[in-house]
Amino acid sequence: MKKALKNSLLAGICSMPLLASAQEKPNIVFIFFDDLGYGDISSLSSESKIQTPNIDQVASEGLSFLDGHCSAAACTPSRYAALTGRYSWRTELKQGVLGGFSPNLVESDRATVASVLKSSGYKTAMFGKWHLGMNWPVKDGEAGKNKMSLENIDWKAPITGGPTSVGFDYYFGISASLDMPPYVYIENDRTTEVPDKMLSSADFPNSAFGRPGPGTSTWSNEAVMGDLTDRAIDYIKNHDKKQPFYIYLPFNSPHSPHVPIKEFQGKSEVGKYGDFVIECDYHVGRVMKALKDSGINDNTLVLISSDNGPERNMYRTRNTTGHDSSGKLLGAKRDNWEGGHRVPFIVSWPAVIKPGTTSDQVVSLVDWPATCAELASATYGADDLPDSFSFAAALRGEEIPGNNQRVYAYRSSKGDLAFRQGDWKLLTNAGSGGNTYSDKSFGVEFEAYSRTGQLYNIKEDPYEKKNLFDQNPEIVERILAAGTKVVTRGRTTDGAELTNANYPWPQLDWMNNWPPKALEAPKPKSKKSKKSK
């Protein structure tokens, strides 16, 4: 790895800080949406049929990265990387996502953006969807999918392995997606109520619902987004201004179930999904107003992004309403195509960022922890945040050092990897790596993409219409070699080699057998395939 790619904070030594004293350190707010597409933001897509004036206002006051990405096209792996600065496929989770009762994925001794900032004098708080596993106390001592019942969980005992175990001073939220049990709030390491029944769709005849499971009789899906925002606003208003804070606000929305409150029902031209996005935008406005009313907006950095692209059903929505949640990008959530991992990436920081600017530099949410660390003049160990580089330079309007040589990795829901280096992107899978699109009701012809070997010049062809794999064997080999190094070294940053869990795993067949034997076009299935949530 070239010197330009050296980790901005190796061995606890800070790079050039933007700010020096504790009083100057910015407050940081990360608003993280769930399944929000690039084309759902009206400032990013002129053809959007959903209007997002509050998010647009944040963009007009700050910087929009037009080539911003999450590190994986599914919930859990994307969130893991944004929290730890480490790709999720280095853990035991090689594909798919966790559930609401899954054990913790983030080790207690793993450095996180929260723990790094906390060590630098920040108060850290999280309000929202966790989806990284936590250890529920079971009465018989045996956890497992069939053990998570009303009777076998000790609902009054502390929960371990959650947000307060990895750097957050305070937590209020839900364990996973809004369609996953248990349906109960968690405050710090305990539930706020004791679930008293097994909830199902029958309990919500006038509302959308997810998987059946333990919950409280008072549970309301519609209330969750507002409750999370209320808590975050109270925290902002009551916080000691002498100490900087880090707020992580991962909303449950607009992931299904689409449950906009009454005030927003029918407000869009895109059904309940569009109405839900409009409600998302409303709550962004509430948070921004709280920052301004508290007199701390100028020195507060706000990032608005999404954990992955929009749900696959956006193709059917496009056919019926004309609204394209992916903004014409190919693919959706779960896919290694751009629609799966290119996401809204909007940053506001009035004290530093020139208003109304855009950037075409490539950035990734895996770099969020290192960026926050630089902004806070924080230190961390040489082996911490092993895939995270700071993009703080871009906030100053400068080039990110070494970015064109850097290799970015993306993971599909099935665990296949794609690599981006400079303008070029290589997929190690046939098809999308995630969804199958054999159902013609999606209205898109995907057969042309089902061959082995996909290489795209993303700068010239962001919609991935022209596969240049056969014409550029030298670029293919270069990216394969670089991607192999990223995988085998256990890190992207410089330093001693680290380990990956369960190495090698099946999705790495391409490393020793290109083109890999298993890399064939997905076959249409007679039955509807189970999809990753």
Q: 382: which residues sit within 8 A by CB, 6+ positions away?
A: 7, 10, 11, 12, 495, 496
Can you say how many angstroms the Cα of residue 225 is from the centroid of all Cα atoms in its chain? 17
Q: What is the pLDDT of residue 472?
A: 95
Residues 6 or more apart whose CB falls under 8 angstroms from that of 213 comprise 100, 148, 180, 181, 182, 183, 198, 199
**381 backbone dihedrals φ, ψ, rounded to 5°:** -70, 160
* Helix H or strand E encompassing 253: strand 245-254
**CA dist 145 → 19, 177, 389 (Å):** 47, 16, 37
Omega before 254 within 30 of 0, i.e. cis: yes
- What pLDDT, on the 0 to 100 scale, is given for residue 531? 42
- Give me the count of residues in the chain: 533
Low-confidence residues of the chain: pLDDT under 50: 1-23, 518-522, 524, 526-533
pLDDT at position 337: 96
* Domains of the chain, first to last: 25-404 (3.40.720.10), 409-511 (3.30.1120.10)
Contact 333, 307 (CB under 8 A): no
**pLDDT given for residue 144 in this prediction:** 64
One-letter amino acid of 194:
V
Characterize 149-161 residue by residue with b for buried, 16 or more Cβ atoms within 10 angstroms of its Cβ, and e for exposed: eeebbebeeebeb
State the sign of the Cα–Cα–Cα–Cα dihedral 190, 194, 197, 203.
negative
How many Cα atoms within 13 Å fall on the side-chain side of residue 238?
Answer: 7
Residue indicated by tokens 């330079």: 393
Amino acid sitting at position 158: P
180, 185, 175: which is closest to 209 by C-alpha?
Answer: 180
How far apart CA 352 and CA 18 sit, in angstroms, is 9
Distance CA 289, CA 271 (A): 28
Partners of residue 30 on adjacent β-strands: 248, 303
Kindly state the tokens that stand for 228: 């999370």
Tell me what pLDDT residue 19 has: 46
Evaluate whether 346 touches 304 at the Cβ level (below 8 Å). yes
Per DSSP, the residues of 354-369 read PTTEEEEEEEEGGGHH
Q: How would you classify the pairing of strands 170-174 and 123-129? A: parallel
C-alpha 341/C-alpha 70 separation (Å) is: 5
